Amino acid sequence: MGRLRPEEISSILKGAITDYESRVRTEEVGQVLEVGDGIAQVFGLSNVMYQEMLEFEDTRGEKVLGLALNLEEDNVGAIIAGDDRHIQEGSTVRRTGELASIPVGRGVLGRVVTPLGEPMDGKGQIDFEEDRDVEVVAPGIIRRQPVSVPLQTGLKAIDSMIPIGRGQRELIIGDRKTGKTSIAIDTIINQRDQDVKCIYVAVGQKDSSIAGVMGELEEAGALEYTTIVNASASQSATAQYLAPYAGCAIGEYFMERGEDALVIYDDLSKHATAYRQMMLLLRRPPGREAYPGDVFYLHSRLLERAARLSDERGGGSLTALPIVETKGGDISSYIPTNVISITDGQIFLDADLFNSNQRPAIDTGNSVSRVGGSAQIRAMKKVAGTLRIDLSQFRELQSFAQFGSDLDAATQATLSRGERLTAILTQNEGEPMPVEEQVAVIYAASNGYLDDVEPDNVLDFESQLLDRLRDSHGEVLAAIRDEKEMSDATKQKLDEALARFSESYRPLDTGTIANVVAGEPEGEAESSEGSGGSGEQGG
Ligand code: ATP
Ligand code: MG
């Protein structure tokens, strides 16, 4: 009785498996049944996997990549990622046995790439380190750890009231032209000294907008740690569909090396539209708002890949800021409700606030961050603690005050404080502010140091105050930054500095400001006798 040794068994099995694979390979060639609009129906690839890369051979003998997305009983619906003009009925299609992947590596930083990793900026070849599957399974709960490190956006209204933590997913949502992209770009610019790699994914935008974004980042010295993945409106729906996954894969590359990364998806409304277009061409049955039934899954499997990994896994993080466009402020339509339910909170931008020059136009009442509070530095938590309530009381009183009834002193005080708080939370784009400076100015506003400053002068007060603090009280700012805490000693020093500064504060050149606001060119103020604003100069 011959005994089989384990090594023999395993070598026989191995042989069988290798044989099996090679047999499968040779069988897996199909033919195009029908092609058009970047979509092909393919016959004869019965073993193909969902999301497997296919190789089409076109009439010029060139190979074009495709992606199997619709697996039906006797044919496969595939999207063509490249030039489909030379693919015809009868063209050969081969399986690759590999899922869609893109090349990643440190070399993508500072570059603009297509979703398949090809350079788009004319700066030459990119050095890649590895191929990463475009779709991977998100880290499970055991591989994660809670969000506890802040991702500073540099925007006062966000870092104080809607704080974001590294590894969090926070939605930026609002109508068109309400400043959504600006918030994302400022956040990238603010990562300059924070060692966070950034990926800006542009879906279905105009090429000129992307050039603008690139210029802004370059000017701010932020391009060197940023990658732009661009699938513009001039590119195929396929490219637009793949772009967010490609951007995510680049972010994961850094996260898995223990680094911190931030990815912006601008925007997922256009991403859903591209997916809808593809799926209608693939004849998937349309559902609500004509989107295919799995459009929720489209975004959930993308966003759940944002994470903060456990220390055993290197402790890296990927923070995601998806952007969604609403129509008429309606957050209850299909894509907004989906993405709101997948993310850890939302920053809601309001067109009316934007038009009344409250910018960034964040509707603080409707904006939340469900996890970032635990990531906020203690000093900020302390000074911003009552900000949200103060502002909501202010808004409530404001609507009463409109009726013109007599107001008691306490109400007037709340109103005037509220106006100054609202003013201090406005911020120009392209000017993100370090957290210690944010703490100082919010402290000043909520402790009454601005109560005698005209709301129009609040930002001037702020900039003069910050100059003073940087020049003469650097140690106060440094203490907040380094201790991340507002100790009693720091508080006392800050109070002293604020008291002295507010006493000496004079608004800078109010005449000029009034003219600029009135839209008049400087020096051409013929009507200045009548306007009270410039009386100071004449007096
Ligand atoms: P779109 O719908 O086109 O994507 P969006 O919501 O991304 O628009 P942005 O492009 O960021 O909006 O901003 C719209 C305009 O508002 C731009 O001209 C921008 O310069 C201006 N803007 C944005 N934020 C601010 C700000 N904080 N202060 C002043 N202007 C701003
Ligand atoms: Mg935009």
Cβ–ligand 1 contact at 463 (below 6 Å): no
Do 322 and 265 touch, CB atoms closer than 8 A? yes
- From first to last of its 539 residues, the chain has per-residue pLDDT tens of 456 677 777 777 777 777 665 555 545 899 999 998 888 999 988 889 888 989 999 999 899 888 898 888 888 999 887 778 899 999 999 999 888 888 899 999 999 999 988 999 999 999 899 999 888 888 888 889 999 999 999 999 999 999 999 999 999 999 999 999 999 999 999 999 999 999 999 999 999 999 999 999 999 999 999 999 999 998 888 889 999 999 999 999 999 999 999 999 999 999 999 999 989 888 888 999 999 999 999 999 999 999 999 999 999 999 999 999 999 999 999 999 999 999 999 999 999 999 999 999 999 999 999 988 888 999 999 999 889 899 999 988 888 777 666 778 888 888 999 999 999 999 999 999 999 999 999 999 999 999 999 999 999 999 999 999 999 999 999 999 999 999 999 999 999 999 999 999 998 765 444 444 444 444 444 444 434 334 334 33
Ligand 1 pocket check: which of 182, 183, 273, 347 to mutate, most ligand atoms within 8 Å of Cβ?
Answer: 182
Q: Provide the pLDDT for residue 22.
A: 57
For residue 210, the CA-to-ligand 1 centroid distance in Å is 14
For the CA atoms of 118, 124, 130, 136, the dihedral, rounded to the nearest 10 degrees, stands at -30
For residue 75, the CA-to-ligand 2 centroid distance in Å is 39
| Whether 370 is catalytic | yes
> Phi first, then psi: what are they for 330, rounded to 5°?
-85, 105
Q: Which domains occur in the chain, in start order?
A: 29-99 (2.40.30.20), 120-374 (3.40.50.300), 381-507 (1.20.150.20)
What atom in ligand 1 is closest to the CA of residue 349?
6
- Per the listing, tokens 């980042």 go with 217
Atom of ligand 1 lying closest to residue 205 CA: 4
Instruction: Read off the DSSP letter of residue 92.
Output: E
Q: Ligand 1 in contact with 181 (CB < 6 A)?
A: yes
pLDDT at 523: 42
The strand pair at 39-43 and 76-80 is best described as: antiparallel
Neighbours of ion ligand 2 (CB under 5 A): 180-181
Task: Name the 3-class secondary structure at 362.
Answer: strand
- What is the CA(174)–ligand 2 centre distance, in A? 10
Q: End-to-end distance of the chain based on CA atoms, in angstroms?
A: 118
SS3 230: strand
Mutation choice for ligand 1 from 429, 516, 517, CB with most ligand atoms inside 8 A: 429
CA-CA distance, 326 to 171, in Å (whole number)? 12
Q: Rounded distance, CA 266 to CA 179, Å?
A: 12
> pTM for this structure?
0.87
Q: Which atom of ligand 1 is nearest to the CA of 325?
A: 2
**Active-site position among 370, 395, 500, 506:** 370
CA dihedral of 105, 108, 109, 111, whole degrees rounded to 10: 180
As a whole number of angstroms, the distance between CA 150 and CA 320 comes to: 13
Q: Whose CA is nearest to atom 19 of ligand 1?
A: 179
- The answer for residues whose C-beta is within 8 angstroms of residue 396's C-beta and 6 or more apart is none
Task: Tell me if 178 CB under 6 Å of ligand 1.
Answer: yes
Per-residue pLDDT at 526: 41
DSSP conformation letters of 271-327? HHHHHHHHHHHTTPPB-GGG-BTTHHHHHHHHHTT-EEB-GGGT--EEEEEEEEE-S
CA 259–ligand 2 middle distance (angstroms):
27
| Phi, psi dihedral angles at 126 (to 5 degrees) | -110, 140
Distance 324 CA to ligand 2 centre (A): 9
Q: What is the pLDDT of residue 20?
A: 64
Phi, psi of 198 (to 5 degrees): -120, 145
CA distances (Å), 209 to each of 52, 71, 232, 351, in order?
32, 37, 9, 20
CA–CA distance, 493 with 186 (Å, rounded to integer): 30
In short, whether 427's Cβ falls inside 6 Å of ligand 1 is yes
What is the pLDDT, as a whole number, of residue 522? 43
Helices (H) and strands (E) in the chain, counts: 18, 17
